[in-house]
Every structure is written in C-alpha cells, then in structure tokens.
C-alpha cells in the first residue's frame, strides 16, 4: 500500500472490524476504508486508487456510510448536550459579569459581551429545537409510509378521481368553445399561439429554482449532511445503487438517484421528442404553462385564451408522496421510473425534492460538475462530501462538458429558421423579444463571416478560400467578429428564460413539412422553401456527396435530434468564460458547411474550484489513477487546493502475485529493437516483427489474446501488411482474428462473436486455441469492457500511444501549460502532459484483463521505451511491482510459456 500526506493521528478511522461489510473484507479493503474514513473526518481532498476486482464500490459504500453514521451520532450527542445546557442554563448574568466599568479586550463592557454570547447560545438552542422538530416530523412521515402500504393505494385512487374530474371539465370546455364558434386568434392557426415568445419581462427577472414557486414551500427542507456519489454512465450508477441495496446499509440509508429528464420522464408525449434538449425545453414550457394557467384562472371568463398543455405528472401532492417513497427504500433509476408511473408523479422532480433529506445522492458527472445544472437540480455542496468514481478521465470530462462546437451548416440553418420565425410573428412579438432575436441573428451572421461565408447563401455550396485551423483568444475572436459590443451574458440568459430554441423547433416542425397552413403569399414563399433548404444544408455538408433524397422520415428524425439553435446556445455560453481560460478554434474546411467554430477549455480547474472550496471533503477515486500528477497539479493545485489538504492512497490487488506476468519486451524474435515511433513504426521490418511475436505467443497462450494498437489507422495498416505477407493466415491458423469496429453499434456483436469463438475452442479442442482481438487504445474496447478469464489471457500493447502533437488543440494546451505551470523535476509541463496522456491510455487498456481474485493473465508491453524510469514509474503500482524487463525475445517467450502452463495446471 502506498499513501502520502496522511498523518495517522489525525486520520485514524474506526478500528478494523467496525466497518459493516456483507462478507469478511480483504485486508486491502479494510485499509481503503480506514484511509477513506480518515480523509472524510479530516476534510481532505483524496486521490484513491483501487484496481478493478478489489471491491472498490463496496469499500466506498461501507467506508463513507460508516463515517456518515458516526458523524450523525456525534451531531445528535452534541445537540442533546447543547439542548440540555439551554434547558438548565440561567438567562440572567452573574454579579461579576454585570459589574459596571469592567471591559473585555475589544473595549466592550463584560455585561455586553456576556449578553451577546447568551443571545447567540439561545438562538443556537432555538435552531437546534427547530431542526429536531423537522427531523422528527420527517422520520414519523417515512415510518408511517413504511408500515402503511394502503396509503400508497389511497393516494393513487385519489389521483385517478382527480384525473377523471379534469377530463370531464375539459370536455365541457371544448363543447362550449365549439358552440361559441370562433377558433382562431388574430389570424393565427389554432394552437399556433404556443409558438409565440412570451413577453420578456426583465434581464434581472427573479429566478425560480428547481421549478419551485412560493406555493411549494412544503417541499423545501433543510439539507442534511450527505454524500454525493457520481460516476460516468447510467449503467455504472445503477450498478452502484444495487451494491448499496446488497450492503449492510441497504435498509436504512435514504438514497436518491438523480438522472436527466431523458432517463426519468414518464410523460410519453414528451419522451417521444427523443433529444435531451427538446425534452428539457418542452418540460420547462409545460411547467410555465401550469404557472401561467394558475395566475390566469380568475380572468378566464373575461379573456379567451388558446388552451396550453400542462404536464399531468407535475402534481405537488403526488410528488410529495413520491419523494417520501424514494426516501423510504433504496431504488435505482428503473425502479424510480416504475414508481413514478404507478403514482402518476414526475420522477425527475420527485427525486430532486428528496435531495435535502437524503443521506446519499447518486448522480451523473455532468449534473455535479456543471454549475448551472447543479444549481437547477437544487444541489447544495456547502459542507457536504463528494465522491467522484471512475475519475481517471476527470480532467477530460470537465473539459468536454464546458467545451462546445458548431458547424457552418448549423449557423446558417439557425439564421434561416430564426429569420423566417421573426418574419412570421413580427406583429405578435414585443420589442424586447425582437431586440434579442436581432442580436442573435447578428451574432450568427458574424460567426459565419469568420468562417469566410455568407449566411444568405447555401453553406454547402460556398467554398472556403483559406482552409486550415486558426486559434484565437475569446477576446480576439469577439473583437474580430465585431461582436464584442454585445452582452453575451444577457443573450445567454434570454435564450434560457424565453425558451426560444424550443419555440423555433416547434415552428420548424410545423412549417418544415408543408407550407400550406401559412396564410399570406409573402410568408408562404419564405416558409415553403424551409424544408428543402434544410435538406440542402444536410446534403451540402455530406462529404460522401450522396444524391439529394426525398423528405422522408429519416430526415425528419435528423431534424428532431439536432435543433441548431440549441447547439449554438452552448457555444454562446462557452464564450462567457474568462479570456485566459479558453480558446476559440476556427476550423475552415472545403466549404462553409463543413467548417466549424469550437470553444476549447484550457483550464478545467476554474470549474472544479467551487466544488473543492464548498465541500467538506472530496474523494477522486478510480481503478487506475496513475499517473496522479495531472490531478494534483492541473486540477487541484490550479483550483486553489492547499497541497497539505491533498492525500493519495493506492492499494495493491487481491490477486496472488503469481497470477499476473507483466513483461516489457525490448526486441523481437529476429533481434529487431522494438521502438514504435512515428518514424519507425511504418517500416516493413517493424510490422513483420510484431506479426512474428504474435504468431509465437498464439502458440502457447490459451483462450483470448487482446492486442492494442495506437490508432485505427495503424491497426488497419498493419493488418493489410500481414495480409500481403502471409503472416495473417499463419495467425488465423491458431486464433480466429477479430477487429474492433469503428462504429459503436457494432461493438457488442463483435464481442459476442469473440466470446463464442473462445468458448467453442475451449470445449472442442483441436488446432484452433481461441481468438485474437485487434483493438485500439482509446477506442470502444479500451475502457469499460471486461476481458475476464478466458476472454483476456494476454493483453499486448504495441508501441506507446502518444497523442497526436500536431493537433492544434493539444499544441495550444501544451503552450498554455508551459506558460502557467512550474517545471516538474526539470521537465517542461507540456512534456509531462504528453507522457501522462500516453500512460493513462496504456494503464486503462492493460487493466482490462484482471477482473477478479482468481483471474490470471500476462501483459506484454512491446517497446523498449517502457523501461525508462519516468515512463516505468507511471505504471500502476500493483503491475509495476511484478514487471519483468526482457531484452531478448527468447527468455520472454520461455517465461510466458511457463506462466500459462503453470496457471492451467493449477486450474
């Protein structure tokens, strides 16, 4: 075990055995939990590494919830002590305190100081009493639900009765309207009023948090001390919730699983929209309609309005009930959605209303790391604990969340849609709406001009005169595009509040298919060509040059999932970053449609700073965190974290040392030195040597062999060379060869076939001993895929997967690091970055094989450069300790044959 910065006196956790665990934990799990408990108790920022297969999730759950249980108990004891003092204390002052003339160090008389102190104590006691009453009320409510199942059915029955009453009322209203005759409003089609932007009151309009208004006070609660656990994917979060359910804490932990509306929405009409942004906007619009409807109910007789849709699942009473159901029993996302359907309550808002009282909140990265999303969800980090799991890509994740890209096609398309929208509804829009629409149109026009185009012409037909990539600072970009006089913060707020992208999408949906519904000739001409123009944009940006296709359902789906203004809003938001923290990349390709503008975030620490500042403790955990220098320097120190507050913990693996054989191989069977640099890797002798190594290994390694190449292009090149030289057929005689597909939807099929082949070979025997999978570092199979047991008996890394240093984004990042970061051990920060990116990718890939305690595998690193100390020390400790360096292939081959024969005999 390796740990630094942890003083045993300060960070001592409970004695071993005090951590509830579903089985007897491994010693490394106990060490992990002790270190975690200590870091949480001392309010540290910890970087924790625990290899896959060591039970990291359970260690996190049991270690963190043990700390929370003890913390809550200490709080209760302290409350009881203070309340007892408050009950037994005297409000009067002692004669000494009341003595006139005496004063404290600040010059205040003693009696004044004592009076202030007494008042503070009384206020604290009153506050504690209120907290106790609130807590008791909540506990009684949850206990009642826990033991009274019939309450659920009573609430459901009441809801059904309300629905029926509303349905009858609606039928009556419709009958009355039909009798009244008139169905249109001021020459607008029925329901078209929904497309009109509401009057934009003020730039400083009062914010409504989490969709709550004044009448939602009963849903607001004080936030208790809690743990926020976040991970990358929906499936990882669901897996974590299932681990909590199985743990000793599963029965009495108040857990809330948060997710996007896309995952939690139970309104089928909204779900059908598909794209997340469309679902978000539609949901917000329906809420807005509900609140407007409430305020206009009194005027309903006086003023006839077109009926606006409200969400039937957004009911305060039902969401209160759902909130309590969530807190009573641990439920994952799927269970939460089922419960929402059953109770006819919105799981998205029901789960958010449960946050204050929850002890453990499980949520995706984006919801925690993106401040606007965090605030909208009602997440308060002050004095709370955050655990970020699967954090090996944390820096890249923060960078991606806060970066944005828009194409020339999208800019032109948005300009065309918005222009036509403005023309259609000009008479119905208020002055402030028109002002902001004109500002957005101007921004779009200038952005297209920066790409060398004109918004009024088809972007697919406009050739770009000066192709290439140019990087600019935010200020330079705004100045050169002549948009520096526009307040982007106000434009961003307008887009958010007015839901303009949603209105625009509705407009395109309505008139994109047919213009027959439009009344005037002038408007008819403009709108009639909208769909054909949009299709031209799509075809213009298609590099394959496919012939124009008719407006079939596929195109319609394409439009539904990508409303251009929604994308552009993200880009405008990115431009509000500080000038020094990002760059704008102008990527000018063959046509304006193919060109793009991209915002690149250079300093992810600015968006992580608030998390580490506000939280009591932050734990960054992962199976492979090496090399940790990036986290420490680029993320934590740049975010202003005191180095003394940072702790590192790395534990070994649960597998016995004899179950893994890592080898660094310096030369091949014909003594060709292995060095796969950009200059040498394309040489025929290097590709031949790689093929010979694989041929020899496939003779002695059973089951599956996974071979990682630095890129898809190089893998394709080597495969072609082997095909021509005959090496491929020699390999195929021993192992069936599979290649990693580029398309994500084909990965599952390849993996299934690969696994079936290995299983078939192990049962039938014969000359074929298994399968060889040719994969790519950073591809679909280098992360999150388990090659356990026979699926990965050997993992081979061909060369060192250094990133492409010719990439403009990477070069800009390197320049920025050299300017802002100190040199580390004499090395330039940019050089350290390149090495770290390479070794992170290597560590993720080679960690695919060993997945549990009884698993075994060999790891082969084909490049002599892995022996360099700076590189070697960036391997995970549990692999580094067992690595052998072999300068000649013969001794490496003998070692591998002995290892695999020995492991098979042991089985």
- Closest C-alpha among 612, 618, 605 to residue 228: 618
List the end-to-end C-alpha distance of the chain, in Å, as a whole number: 29
Helix (H) or strand (E) holding 588: strand 582-588
Q: Which residue in this structure is represented by tokens 């492979």?
A: 624
Question: Average of pLDDT values for 531-545?
Answer: 42
CB-based contacts of 66: which residues, under 8 Å, 6+ apart? 13, 14, 18, 19, 20, 33, 37
Give me the sign of the Cα torsion angle 377, 381, 384, 385: positive
| Percent of the chain with pLDDT strictly greater than 70 | 75
> Is pLDDT above 60 for 302?
no
> Going by DSSP bridges, is the β-strand pair 404-407/596-601 parallel, antiparallel, or unpaired?
antiparallel
* Closest by Cα among 369, 332, 358, 331 to 68: 358
Per this entry, what is the length of the chain? 907
Helical segments of 667-726, H only: 684-700, 712-725
Show the tokens assigned to 373: 């999303």
Q: What is the rounded distance in angstroms from the CA atom of residue 279 to the CA atom of residue 265? A: 9
Summarize the confidence of residues 541-564 as an average pLDDT.
41
Is the pLDDT at 98 greater than 50, yes or no? no
pLDDT band of 539, cuts 50, 70, 90: very low
Q: Is the pLDDT of residue 800 over 90?
A: yes
Q: For residues 198 and 498, is the Cβ–Cβ distance under 8 A?
A: yes
DSSP label at 188?
B
Looking at residue 528, what is its pLDDT? 42
- Alpha-carbon span 576 to 481, nearest angstrom: 15
Minimal CA–CA distance to 587: which of 461, 450, 384, 399? 450
Question: What pLDDT does residue 718 have?
Answer: 94
- In order, the DSSP letters of 299-346 are TTTTS--------TT--HHHHHHHHHHHHHS---HHHHHHHHHHHT--
Say if residue 736's pLDDT is above 50: yes
CB within 8 A of 561, min separation 6: which ones? 274, 275
Would you call 470 helix, strand, or coil by DSSP?
strand
Pairing of strands 794-798, 857-862: parallel
**Between the CA atoms of 731, 732, 733 and 734, what dihedral angle is there, to the nearest 10 degrees?**
70
Cβ atoms within 10 Å, residue 870 = 14
Q: Which stretches of 769-807 are DSSP H helices?
A: none
pLDDT at 557 over 70: no
Contacts of 693 (CB under 8 A, 6+ apart): 665, 668, 669, 796, 860, 862, 889
Q: What is the Cα–Cα distance from 508 to 784, expressed in whole angstroms?
A: 39
Averaged pLDDT for residues 362-372: 89
What pTM was estimated for this model as a whole? 0.80
Would you state the pLDDT for residue 823? Answer: 81
- Checking if the pLDDT of 475 tops 90, the result is yes
Number of other residues whose CB lies within 10 A of the CB of residue 181 = 6
User: What confidence score (pLDDT) does residue 191 get?
Assistant: 59
* pLDDT at residue 209 is higher than 60: no
Other CB atoms closer than 10 Å to residue 673's CB: what's the count?
Answer: 13
The pLDDT of residue 741? 87
- Higher-confidence residue of 769 and 443: namely 443
Mean pLDDT score, 611-638: 88
Q: Considering just the CA atoms, what is the radius of gyration of the chain in Å?
A: 32
* Residue in the structure block whose two tokens are 């000649």: 888
**What pLDDT, on the 0 to 100 scale, is given for residue 88?**
59
Residue 107 confidence (pLDDT) above 70: no
Query: Which is more confidently placed, 790 or 187?
Result: 790
C-alpha dist (Å) from residue 532 to 422, 555, 826: 19, 11, 60
CA 78 to chain centre: 38
Distance in angstroms (rounded) separating the CA atoms of residues 308 and 292? 9
- Given this model, what pLDDT does residue 786 score? 72
735-739 β-sheet, strand order:
735-739, 770-776, 703-709, 794-798, 857-862, 660-665, 884-886
43-83: per-residue pLDDT in tens?
999 999 888 777 888 999 999 999 999 998 888 887 777 77
> Residue 667: what are its φ and ψ, rounded to 5°?
-150, 160
| pLDDT value, residue 164 | 57
Cis, peptide link before residue 541, omega less than 30° from 0: no
Per-residue pLDDT reduced to its tens digit, 693-703: 999 999 888 88
Angle in degrees, CA 370, 376, 382, rounded to 5: 70
- How high is the pLDDT of residue 36? 94
What per-residue string of b and e applies to 326-339 under the rule 16 or more CB within 10 Å gives b? bbbbbbbbebbbeb
| More confident site: 151 or 832 | 832
pLDDT confidence of 190, banded at 50, 70, 90?
low
More confident residue, 653 or 488: 488
Q: Check: CB of residue 449 under 8 Å from CB of residue 496.
A: no
Residue given tokens 């809420």 in the structure block: 287
**C-alpha distance from residue 155 to each of 147, 164, 417, 534 (Å):** 15, 15, 46, 48
Question: How many CA atoms lie within 13 Å of 415's alpha carbon, on the beta-carbon side?
Answer: 25
| Partners of 48 in the β-ladder | 621, 649
Instruction: Say if residue 100's pLDDT is above 50.
Output: no
Q: Report pLDDT for 895.
A: 92
- Is the peptide bond between 627 and the residue preceding it cis, with omega within 30 degrees of 0? yes
DSSP β-ladder status, 385-388 and 227-231: parallel
CB 599 within 8 A of CB 582: yes
CB 747 within 8 A of CB 741: yes
| Residue that is written with structure tokens 């695919």 in the block | 848
Of 106 and 866, the structure prediction assigns the larger pLDDT to 866
What's the pLDDT at 859? 93
Does residue 652 sit in helix, strand or coil?
Answer: coil
Give whole-number Cα distances, 343 to 10, 149, 155, 286, in Å: 48, 13, 8, 20
């Amino acid at each position: 075990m390796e740990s630094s910065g942890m003083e045993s006196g300060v960070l001592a956790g409970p004695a071993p055995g005090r951590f509830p665990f579903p089985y007897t934990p491994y010693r490394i799990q106990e060490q992990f939990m002790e270190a975690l408990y200590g870091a949480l108790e001392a309010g540290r920022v910890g970087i924790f590494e625990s290899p896959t297969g060591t039970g990291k999730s359970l260690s996190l759950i049991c270690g963190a919830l043990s700390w929370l249980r003890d913390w809550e108990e200490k709080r209760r004891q302290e409350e009881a002590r203070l309340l007892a003092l408050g009950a037994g204390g005297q409000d009067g002052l002692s004669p000494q305190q009341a003595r006139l003339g005496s004063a404290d160090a600040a010059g205040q008389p003693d009696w004044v100081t004592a009076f202030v102190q007494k008042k503070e104590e009384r206020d604290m006691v009153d506050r504690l009493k209120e907290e106790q009453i609130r807590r008791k009320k909540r506990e009684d409510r949850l206990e009642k639900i826990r033991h009274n199942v019939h309450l659920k059915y009573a609430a459901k029955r009441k809801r059904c009765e309300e629905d029926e009453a509303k349905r009858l009322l609606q039928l009556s209203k419709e009958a009355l309207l039909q009798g009244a005759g008139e169905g249109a409003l001021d020459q607008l089609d029925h329901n078209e009023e929904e497309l009109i932007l509401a009057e934009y009151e003020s730039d400083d309009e009062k914010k409504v948090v989490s969709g709550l208004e004044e009448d939602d006070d009963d849903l607001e609660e004080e936030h208790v001390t809690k743990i926020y656990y976040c991970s990358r994917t929906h499936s990882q979060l669901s897996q974590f919730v299932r681990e909590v359910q199985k743990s000793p804490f599963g029965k009495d932990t108040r857990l809330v699983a948060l997710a996007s509306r896309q995952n939690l929405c139970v309104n089928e009409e909204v779900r059908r929209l598909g794209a997340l942004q469309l679902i978000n906007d539609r949901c917000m619009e329906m809420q807005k309609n509900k609140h407007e409807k409430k305020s206009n109910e009194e005027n309903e007789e006086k003023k006839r309005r077109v009926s606006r849709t409200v969400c039937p699942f957004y009911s305060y009473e039902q969401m209160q009930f759902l909130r309590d159901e969530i807190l009573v029993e641990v439920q994952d996302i799927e269970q939460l959605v089922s419960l929402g359907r059953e109770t006819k309550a919105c799981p998205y808002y029901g789960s958010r209303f449960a946050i204050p009282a929850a002890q453990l909140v499980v949520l995706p990265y984006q919801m925690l790391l993106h401040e606007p999303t965090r605030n909208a969800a009602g997440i308060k980090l002050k004095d709370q604990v955050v655990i970020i799991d699967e954090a090996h890509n944390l820096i890249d994740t923060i960078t991606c969340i806060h970066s944005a890209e828009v194409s020339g096609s999208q800019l032109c398309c948005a300009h065309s849609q918005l222009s036509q929208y403005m023309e259609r509804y000009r008479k119905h829009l208020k002055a402030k709406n028109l002002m902001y629409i004109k500002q957005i149109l101007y921004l779009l026009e200038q952005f297209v001009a920066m790409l060398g185009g004109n918004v009024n012409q088809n972007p697919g037909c406009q050739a770009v005169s000066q192709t290439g990539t140019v990087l600019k600072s935010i200020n330079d970009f705004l100045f050169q595009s002549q948009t520096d006089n526009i307040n982007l913060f106000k434009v961003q707020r307008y887009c958010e509040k007015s839901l303009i992208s949603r209105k625009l999408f509705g407009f395109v949906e309505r008139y994109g298919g047919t213009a027959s519904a439009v009344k005037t000739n002038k408007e008819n001409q403009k709108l009639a060509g909208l769909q054909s123009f949009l299709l031209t944009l799509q075809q213009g940006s298609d590099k394959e040059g496919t012939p124009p296709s008719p407006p079939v359902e596929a195109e319609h789906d394409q439009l539904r999932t990508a409303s251009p203004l929604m994308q552009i809003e993200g880009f405008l938001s990115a431009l509000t970053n500080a000038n020094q923290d990002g760059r704008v990349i102008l990527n000018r390709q063959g046509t304006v449609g193919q060109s793009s503008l991209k915002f690149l975030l250079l300093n992810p620490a600015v968006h992580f700073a608030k998390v580490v500042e506000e939280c009591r403790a932050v734990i960054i955990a992962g199976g492979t965190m090496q090399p940790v220098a990036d986290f420490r320097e680029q993320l934590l120190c740049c975010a202003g974290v005191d180095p003394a507050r940072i702790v590192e913990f790395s534990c070994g693996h649960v597998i016995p040392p004899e179950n893994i054989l890592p080898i660094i191989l310096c030369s091949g069977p014909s003594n060709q030195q292995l060095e796969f640099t950009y200059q040498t890797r394309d040489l025929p002798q290097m590709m031949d040597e790689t093929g010979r190594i694989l041929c020899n290994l496939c003779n002695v390694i059973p089951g599956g062999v996974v071979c990682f190449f630095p890129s898809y292009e190089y893998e394709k090149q080597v495969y072609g060379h082997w095909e021509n030289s005959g090496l491929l057929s020699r390999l195929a005689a021993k192992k069936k060869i599979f290649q990693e597909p580029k398309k994500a939807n084909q990965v599952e099929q390849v993996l299934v076939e690969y696994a079936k082949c290995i299983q078939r070979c192990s049962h039938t025997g014969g000359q074929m001993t298994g399968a060889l999978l040719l994969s790519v570092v950073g591809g679909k199979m280098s992360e999150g895929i388990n090659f356990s047991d026979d699926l990965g008996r050997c993992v081979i890394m061909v060369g060192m997967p250094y990133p492409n240093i010719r990439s403009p984004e990477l070069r800009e990042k390197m320049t920025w690091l050299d300017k802002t970061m100190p040199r580390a051990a004499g090395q330039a920060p940019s050089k350290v970055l390149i090495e770290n990116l390479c070794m992170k990718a290597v560590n993720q890939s080679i960690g695919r094989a060993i997945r549990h305690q009884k698993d075994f595998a060999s790891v082969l690193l084909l490049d002599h450069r892995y022996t360099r100390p700076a590189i070697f020390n960036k391997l995970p400790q549990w692999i580094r300790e067992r690595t052998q360096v072999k300068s000649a292939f013969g001794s490496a081959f003998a070692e591998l044959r002995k290892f695999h024969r020995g492991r098979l005999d042991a089985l």
